[in-house]
């Protein structure tokens, strides 16, 4: 018997964990003495970000997000078939980077997802959407019926290296000041064939641009550092995402005006808006809303898309049937598109009163 090849999936639940400690942009930039730094918050649209404190780290954020996701879900942990952990940072017990065993196994143990298969993936800020890309294939083949994709990012430690290194406004580490910590989790479930399901399209690695943003562990200091050629990576992202978005829309018989919310990777307000304008101009049409949710959380790496959806769900902004496009642009350079319709999930978030 041939295996089933047309299984579809959709988002069943989303969970988030944002650390409690706040760090404002003015507090952060006051430690740097370079001209024009006072406009950093205005340019990036980031007023503050949340950072880990006490016992918080990548692992605790991922676990708390997974628990939050389960509280919004109709599934119990033991019903999960697969857990994929997509964190870039794998810090456990402070800034100790864990290589083995995998984070996903430890998360499985914590939430008691007894039967779940597990593995970790790492694909820079495209991590969670790469998890969706892999899971969609497993749903398509009927291998799984439920899957949790989870990530915990403790990246605020990048500030320590950046604050010592930034000497000019064009420093390669200036982007490190945009980041914030966050954990996010999403449960995907199998849906009937007549459901539109989740559309995954155009995932591609432009590896000749892989040197434009690199993050490594420090040699002689705890934590890591990140170096970004911001202007180059922005230009390359805009040029290369145009045909991928166009193809994703065309293949699925869509036009941009049929998209209600476009959620790009959250880097900085000015780059999101300038990139979106080029995208809309080339298409001649634009989506209903462009989501920029940097103000209170900053760039939270692989968790940005699901953090944005979570926040909008809690603010009751979505309507059932709204079509959402997630546009992932990440170091590598990776570009991919996920399109889905908002479903009953909206009734489980926010305060209806």
Partner 1 sequence: MGTKISMVSVSKLYSRFRPGNSISLSAGTVKECLCNSGIAPSDIGLLINTGIYRYRNTGEPSIAALIQNKAMPFSPGKASKGKEAASVPNTFSFDLNNGGCGWLSGIEIIDGFIQTGQIRHGIVVTADSEPFPGFSENYYFNTAAAAIILSGTETTGGFSHFRTYSFPGFCEEFISSTRFGNLKGKWGERNILVIKKSETYVDNCIDCAVISINRFLDETGFALKDIDLIIPSQCPKGFLTGIKDRLGISCKLVEVRNNMNKELHTAGPAFALNNSWNDNRFKSAENILFLTVGSGIFVSIALFKNLSY
Q: How many residues bind partner 1 (CB under 8 A)?
A: 68
Under the criterion CB under 8 A, does residue 163 sit at the interface with partner 1? Answer: no
User: Residue 297 CB, nearest distance to partner 1 (Å)?
Assistant: 19
Site for partner 1 in 105-144 (CB under 8 A): 105-106, 108-109, 117-126, 130, 133-134, 137-138, 140-141, 143
63: exposed, middle or buried (Cβ count in 10 Å: 0-12, 13-18, 19+): buried
Under the criterion CB under 8 A, does residue 329 sit at the interface with partner 1? Answer: no
Among 73, 331, 346, 349, contact with partner 1 (rule: CB under 8 A): 331
Among 49, 92, 265, 305, contact with partner 1 (rule: CB under 8 A): 92
CA–CA distance, 29 with 40 (Å, rounded to integer): 8
Q: Which is nearer to partner 1, 105 or 191 (CB)?
A: 105
Tally Cβ neighbours within 10 Å of residue 1. 3
Under the criterion CB under 8 A, does residue 180 sit at the interface with partner 1? Answer: no
Write 312-321 long-range contacts (CB < 8 A, 24+).
312/261, 313/14, 313/345, 313/346, 313/349, 313/350, 314/349, 314/350, 315/350, 316/346, 316/349, 316/350, 316/351, 316/352, 318/261, 318/342, 318/346, 319/260, 319/346, 320/344, 320/346
Distances in Å between the Cα of 215 and the Cα atoms of 181, 211, 261 are: 16, 10, 30
Give the DSSP H/E element, type plus range, for residue 337: strand 334-341
Under the criterion CB under 8 A, does residue 83 sit at the interface with partner 1? Answer: no
Q: Which is nearer to partner 1, 119 or 348 (CB)?
A: 119
Sign of CA dihedral 338, 342, 344, 345: positive
User: Residue 36 CB, nearest distance to partner 1 (Å)?
Assistant: 27
Q: Which is nearer to partner 1, 124 or 182 (CB)?
A: 124
Pair 111, 70: CB distance under 8 Å: yes
Q: Which is nearer to partner 1, 51 or 138 (CB)?
A: 138
Under the criterion CB under 8 A, does residue 33 sit at the interface with partner 1? Answer: no
Among 1, 5, 55, 351, contact with partner 1 (rule: CB under 8 A): 5
Among 100, 193, 194, 352, contact with partner 1 (rule: CB under 8 A): 100
CA–CA distance, 307 with 312 (Å, rounded to integer): 9
Q: Which is nearer to partner 1, 69 or 335 (CB)?
A: 335
Question: In terms of Cα–Cα distance, which of 30, 310, 4 is closest to 151?
Answer: 310
Among 16, 98, 325, 339, contact with partner 1 (rule: CB under 8 A): 98
Cβ contacts of 244 within 8 Å, gap of 6 or more:
201, 202, 204, 335, 336, 337
Among 34, 163, 242, 254, contact with partner 1 (rule: CB under 8 A): 242
Angle 127-140/304-314 helices, nearest 10 degrees? Answer: 80
Under the criterion CB under 8 A, does residue 99 sit at the interface with partner 1? Answer: yes
Site for partner 1 in 251-280 (CB under 8 A): none
Binding mask 191-230 vs partner 1 (x if CB under 8 A, - otherwise)? ------------xxxxxx-xx-xxxxxxxxxx-x-x----
Pair 285, 257: CB distance under 8 Å: yes
CA–CA distance, 219 with 302 (Å, rounded to integer): 24
Residue numbers at the binding site for partner 1 (CB under 8 A): 3, 5, 88-89, 92, 95-102, 105-106, 108-109, 117-126, 130, 133-134, 137-138, 140-141, 143, 203-208, 210-211, 213-222, 224, 226, 239-244, 330-336
């Amino acid at each position: 018997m041939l295996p089933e090849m047309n299984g579809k999936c959709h988002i069943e639940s989303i969970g988030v964990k944002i650390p409690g400690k706040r760090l404002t942009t003015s507090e952060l930039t006051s430690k740097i003495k370079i001209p024009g730094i006072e406009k950093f918050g205005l340019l990036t649209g980031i007023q503050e970000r949340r950072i880990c404190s006490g016992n918080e780290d990548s692992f605790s954020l991922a676990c708390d997000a997974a628990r939050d996701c389960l509280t919004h879900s109709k599934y119990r942990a033991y019903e999960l078939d697969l857990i994929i952990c997509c964190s870039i940072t794998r810090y456990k017990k402070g800034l100790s980077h864990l290589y083995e065993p995998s984070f996903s196994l430890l998360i499985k143990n914590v939430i008691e997802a007894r039967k779940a298969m597990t593995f970790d993936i790492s694909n820079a800020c495209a991590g969670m959407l790469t998890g969706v890309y892999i899971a969609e294939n497993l749903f398509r083949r009927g291998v799984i019926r439920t899957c949790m994709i989870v990530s915990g990012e403790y990246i605020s430690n990048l500030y320590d290296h950046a604050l010592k290194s930034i000497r000019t406004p064009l420093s390669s580490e200036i982007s490190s000041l945009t980041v914030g910590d966050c954990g996010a989790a999403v449960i995907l479930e199998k849906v009937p064939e007549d459901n539109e399901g989740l559309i995954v399209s155009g995932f591609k690695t432009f590896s000749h641009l892989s040197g434009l943003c690199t993050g490594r562990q420090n040699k002689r200091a705890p934590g890591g550092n990140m170096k970004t050629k911001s202007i180059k990576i922005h230009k390359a992202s805009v040029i290369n995402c145009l045909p991928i978005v166009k193809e994703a829309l065309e293949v699925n018989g869509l036009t941009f005006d049929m998209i209600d919310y476009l959620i790009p990777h959250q880097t900085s307000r000015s780059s999101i808006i300038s990139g979106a304008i080029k995208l809309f101009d080339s298409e001649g049409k634009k989506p209903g809303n462009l989501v920029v949710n940097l103000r209170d959380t900053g760039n939270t790496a692989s968790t940005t898309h699901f953090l944005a959806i979570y926040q909008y769900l809690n603010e009751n902004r979505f309507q059932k049937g709204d079509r959402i496009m997630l546009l992932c642009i990440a170091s590598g350079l990776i570009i991919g598109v996920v399109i889905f319709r908002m479903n009953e999930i909206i009734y489980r978030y926010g305060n209806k009163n």
